[in-house]
Amino acid sequence: MADAGLTQREIKIAVLLIEGETQHNIARKLNMSAAEYGRQEKAIRQKLNLMGDSDPAVAAAVTEYKLTKRETEMLKYLRDSLTTEQIAAIAYITEDTVRYHIRNLLKKLGVEKWQDVSAWLDRYK
């Protein structure tokens, strides 16, 4: 966990979570408010890439390339071979905005065509 950049306090919280402690008990044991606990847990999840995607390839790419939240979303959509139109509908943005985000993502990853993203992700499997 230290390799993920967790602070000592975050490590304590993570260990207590793994041991099955409730959020309330963790906050009480570490003398934290509920709000502070919430911030700490969110930081832990972000550092450990536990924000809802179980795909280790996406998690690795997010960490290695320091992808933004929107770039991560685009990567997931491209992984699933969604069209620009489908992505726009799901993300509630225009197709031009989708293309903008995809262009930025591809440039960051060094991938020429969005159709190649799935194959590019395979290198992390």
pLDDT tens-digit profile of 10-19? 888 888 877 7
Are 27 and 62 within one domain?
Answer: no
Total domains present in the chain: 2
Instruction: Judge contact between 118 and 81, C-beta under 8 A.
Output: yes
Residue-number span of the structural domain to which 105 is assigned? 56-124
Higher-confidence residue of 121 and 106: namely 106
H helices present in the chain, as ranges: 8-18, 23-29, 34-47, 56-65, 69-79, 84-91, 95-109, 117-121
For the CA atoms of 93, 97, 101, 104, what is the dihedral angle to 10 degrees?
-170
pLDDT tens, residue by residue, 15-53: 887 777 888 888 899 999 888 888 888 888 777 765 555
pTM assigned to the model: 0.57
Return mean pLDDT, the chain. Answer: 84
Residues 119 and 60 in one domain: yes
